[in-house]
Amino acid sequence: MAGEGIGPEVTAEAEKVLKDIRRKFGRACHFAPRVMGGQANAELGSSLPRANVVSGSLFFMHGAVGGPKWESPTALDHPERGLFAMRKEVNLLANLSLVKTMVTIFAPPILR
C-alpha cells in the first residue's frame, strides 16, 4: 500500500530490498499492491475499501498517507482512518518504523 506523497517512492525502494532478501535467503514473500488512504478514498470512496484488506498476512507494508489535499475538517473519511482500520484488522497495536538516529556533538571552539 504505497499511500501518497513520498509513500510510493519509499515503498518502491523497500520492495526492492525485500525482493533482494527473498532471492538471497530463499524466503517466501508475495507482493499484492493495493490502495489505502487518500488515493483509495478518491478512487473507491473509502480510505480502506473492504476488498483491499490484507487479512491473513504476517505483515503488510504501507507508505505515508494523507496530505493537504485530504485535510478537510468536514470530510467523512480521512486517509489515516484506512491505516487505523488495517491495524485493527490484523490486530496490530502499533506501526514499526525503522529509524537511524544521527547524533552530532557540537563543541565550543575552546574545546576543539
For the stretch 15-68, pLDDT in tens is 998 899 888 988 777 888 888 888 888 888 898 888 888 777 767 788 888 888
Number of domains in the chain: 1
CB–CB of 72/81 below 8 Å?
A: no
pLDDT at site 12: 92
Residue ranges making up the domain that contains 104: 7-111
Indicate whether 12 belongs to any domain. yes
Domain assignment present for residue 2? The answer is: no
pLDDT at 109 over 80: no
17 lies in a domain?
A: yes
What pLDDT does 89 receive? 81
10: Cα separation from own chain's centroid = 9
Cα dihedral value 23, 18, 42, 64, nearest 10: -170
pLDDT band at 2 (very low <50, low <70, confident <90, very high): confident
* 103 vs 1, higher pLDDT: 1
Note whether residue 25 is domain-resident.
yes
Task: Give which of 13, 15, 17, 10 is closest to 31, Cα–Cα.
Answer: 15
Say if 1 falls within a structural domain.
no
Q: What is the pLDDT of residues 61-86, one digit of tens each?
A: 888 888 888 888 887 888 888 888 88
pLDDT of residue 101: 60
Q: How far apart are CA 37 and CA 48, in angstroms?
A: 7
